[in-house]
Structures are given as C-alpha cells and as structure tokens.
Amino acid sequence: MKMENSYKDLSAEIKEVAKKVLAEEDVDQLLGFAQGEFSGLTEPVIIKKAEQAQRMVFTEDATPMLSKYLLEYKEKKQAVVAKPCDTRAIAYYLSEDIIDRKNLVIIGINGCPGLKDNTACDECDTRNPVISDYQVGEEISSAELAAELKGVKYLLEDMTPAERKEHYSQEFARCTQCYACRDACPVCYCDHCYVESNQPEWVEEGSSADKDMIFHLMRTMHMPGRCVNCGACEMACPEGIDMRSMTTHLYHKAEELYDFRPGISPEQPPLLSDFSKEDSEPGFL
C-alpha cells in the first residue's frame, strides 16, 4: 500500500491554503482546479477572491499543468496550486529566467498521489515539490520513493532503436495535428512555434503519417533537458497516442549521460548551456 495523500484530504487543505493566500498575500489571482459547473469535470480555474477558494479541488483527473498558465500572465503576481511536476516546470522557468520568482506564490502538493491513466506517474521521480511557499499533504520520504521506483522501467526502455522506430510510426500515424500535446506541455512556451511559421514553412500543410512525424520529431528535438516528464502531452492527446514514448527516452538519457534532470532547482543551468569537456558524446540519441 502506497503511503500517499488522498485527493479528498488534499482538496480540503488546498481550499484552506488558497483562502489564506488570497486573503493574506498580495496576489492578483490564484490558479487551481475546480469542478465544472455543468460538466462536473475537473478544470483549471483562475480565482481572485478568498470566498471562491471553496471551489478548489484536487482529483485524479487534475491533468492540466497549471504552471503553463503562469507564463500567460507573468506580469501579474500569481499564486498557483502546483503538483510536484508543476514545481519542476516552474523551477525550470526560473532557471531560464523567463518568470520572476517575486511574482509567484507556489502552493506545492506533497506526496502527490498521481493522476488516473497518466503513465508518467508510474515512473515519477518527484513526488514532493522542488520549490514552494506553502505546502499541502504529507511529504513522501526519499526511501519510500526509491522503494517504489525500484525496478520500474520507462516506456520502451528495453526496445532497440529499430523497434522504437516501428512503435513510433504506428502510434504517431494517428496524429490529427491538433497540437494539443504542444499546447498542454508546460515547457513548450516559445512565443512563436515553428508550426505557426509559414515563412519559412517548417511543417508542410497536410497530415500524412510522414508529415505528422516531422512535427513530433521536431517537437521532441526541443525537449532534451526541458521535458519534466509530467505526461501532460499524452493526457491531452485525444487520439491516445503514446506521446511520452519519445520524450521519456530523452528524459532518461539526459539523466543517464549527464546526470541531468530538468527543473530540479531554479539555480540549475539548462542542459544545453552547460558544457564540460568530459561530457560523453554518444551521438544522435
């Protein structure tokens, strides 16, 4: 039996803390999850008043990364309910200096119980926030986490490159180029994505399997040293594409080859701007 916090307890604590933050801190808005008025589904919401904090919940369907929205309103002072993977995305933003720490109040979730159907949670190595101002839930100890992760393999870990390629071509053939994966990803934050560029046109119009693959490979090439392995891309995909099978490989290769995990600390230099002569050079991953 896993020692983790229940969604119910976390929801209750989040309500309290959100209320406190909105009442006491000088924030413009708070990003959290609430239940949809008509749908009953868990959805991201932005609240501004302490009395709205009662709406806050945390559920097994709280898949969207609220960290993503911080960038949209970075001129404002914002509080955010952050899953541990969100805190890593935030630490990564800070390491790239694209958001001001002074504008953030981070409500971190300790001992994150994970999300339904998100395979990223099965191999998650960060179950407590890496950066936070307030915390909810009980921390999970590093010994407990290590025990849970023992023997866990990441997606396609044991496959040969040829087998992986075969898997990718089958999976990504279902892509409809809706770009939900990119839009849900907390570290896909370019002002102008190459997809939206038509001068020059990086991704040709049309949606054959080859063209779909070009989009996904180009996105993947932006991911080493950035992907925090949250699984938001896969959860957003309406075609059920095994989206993480590509990015998790890069995540674990970066760790294996350079002992690098993105978003572990705001002071950490990004992978691709931190070079040493001793770095291994395995060639194309």
Binding site for another protein (CB under 8 A): 36-39, 41-46, 63-64, 68-69, 72, 117, 119, 171, 174, 176-180, 182-184, 196, 198, 204-208, 234-242
Q: How far is the CB of 208 from another protein (least distance, A)?
A: 7
Q: How far is the CB of 120 from another protein (least distance, A)?
A: 12
Given a contact cutoff of 8 angstroms between Cβ atoms, the answer to whether 95 and 269 are in contact is yes
Our CB check for another protein shows the closer of 102 and 192 to be 192
Our CB check for another protein shows the closer of 39 and 276 to be 39
Q: How far is the CB of 225 from another protein (least distance, A)?
A: 23
Our CB check for another protein shows the closer of 200 and 282 to be 200
Q: How far is the CB of 256 from another protein (least distance, A)?
A: 26
Q: How far is the CB of 43 from another protein (least distance, A)?
A: 4
Our CB check for another protein shows the closer of 155 and 264 to be 155
Q: How far is the CB of 161 from another protein (least distance, A)?
A: 21
Our CB check for another protein shows the closer of 53 and 264 to be 53
Our CB check for another protein shows the closer of 43 and 133 to be 43
